[in-house]
Amino acid sequence: MIRNLPGVDLLRGLANLLGWESLSVDGMTSFHDTNYVGQGEATAAALDKYDIVFSHVEAPDEASHQADWKTKVGNSTAVEGIQDMHYAIPNVAVDFTAPDTGTPVSYWRSVGYSQNTYFMESFLDEMAAAAGKDPVEFRRGLLAGTPRLLNVLNVVAEKSDWGKPLPAGRFRGVAVVNNIGSFNAVVAEVSVNQGKVKVHRAVCAVDCGQVINPAIVEAQIQSGIVYGLSTVTKLGITLDKGRVVQKNFNNYDPLRIDEMPLVEVHIIPSTANPGGIGEASTPTIIPAVVNAVYAATKKRVRMLPIKAADLV
């Protein structure tokens, strides 16, 4: 996907010629659905105002269900969550490579938004840090043109007490997304002790349009958060001689009740057309936790699930 961008190499060269500041990041994750690599680069005349973002995605064809990249670039699940981001960055380029990994993969809850929101929202936090900006304030400055997404960000910041002091050893992270027609923002509150991550609180504000049954919306948001948190902190798929090691829930163990944080859901009243809700919060809880881990440790998480050895 290219937005107002005459050429990646041309503008990268122009940025270098002008002496603009650049920020680069490589991230890799092994989700249940796909082996995925995301790379990003942002360039700015001034670090508080980014002008160009490049992004490269590598994932097997099955991750996009054999979507024809050449004719369906705007709809490809391989890049959703990046190519349709709502941040007001004037020049964005996204490209995609489908390597043959030899491992059959398929959709995971929230499809391409799962890994791509993790990458994009983590990258946004790195951009904010490079600019010396608060993560919420930085996003606010880029979301003026998307009032519903800006509103859920403002609501979750208020409800999570963003900017107010936390108990010693606790830190916050934030992430936003609009997937399946539902705008939501999540703030995660975490602590890290000897590399072990504990999530104490997750606050979500969601605008999914007209709500018929608020209890179902709340349950789905909670469920998506459980799903995402399990992946961040515990779940992973490993292969041994080409075969998946994890066969059942005895060695593929999601979060249990005693491991769950307090989850708060705030539904925004709306008369807009209803959006989907079953996959809304899974993409945002993952980078919200990862960004909180950075706030706690000053270490960026490049692979999921988080391993203690990467944080000590």
pLDDT at 256 > cutoff 80? yes
Per the CB < 8 A criterion, the answer to whether 21 and 42 are in contact is no
Domains 2-119 and 147-310 share a fold: yes
The encoded tokens of residue 276 equal 């989907």
The domain locations on the chain are 2-119, 147-310
pLDDT at 45 > cutoff 80? no
Per-position b or e across 273-310, b if 16+ CB within 10 A of its CB: eebebbbbbbbbbbbbbbbbbbbbbeebbbebbbeeee
- CB burial class (10 A; 0-12, 13-18, 19+) of residue 50? buried
- Average pLDDT (283-297) is 96
Tens digit of pLDDT for each residue in 212-251? 999 999 999 999 999 999 989 888 888 888 788 888 888 8
Who's near 80: CB < 8 A, 6+ residues apart? 111, 112, 113, 116, 179
Nearest to 177 by CA among 43, 279, 74: 279
Give residue 249's pLDDT: 83
Tens digit of pLDDT for each residue in 52-90? 566 667 666 544 444 444 444 444 677 787 878 889 888
pLDDT at 275 > cutoff 80? yes
Q: What is the CATH architecture of 147-310? A: 2-Layer Sandwich (3.30)
* Fold assignment, 2-119: Aldehyde Oxidoreductase; domain 4 (3.30.365)
Per the CB < 8 A criterion, the answer to whether 29 and 10 are in contact is no
Strands (DSSP E) along 47-128, which ranges? 49-58, 91-97
Task: State the average pLDDT for the chain.
Answer: 81
Task: Write the DSSP symbol of residue 248.
Answer: S
State the residue for tokens 């809880």: 285
Percent of the chain with pLDDT over 70: 75
Say if strands 35-46 and 49-58 run parallel, antiparallel, or are unpaired: antiparallel
Give residue 224's pLDDT: 95
pLDDT at 15 > cutoff 70? no
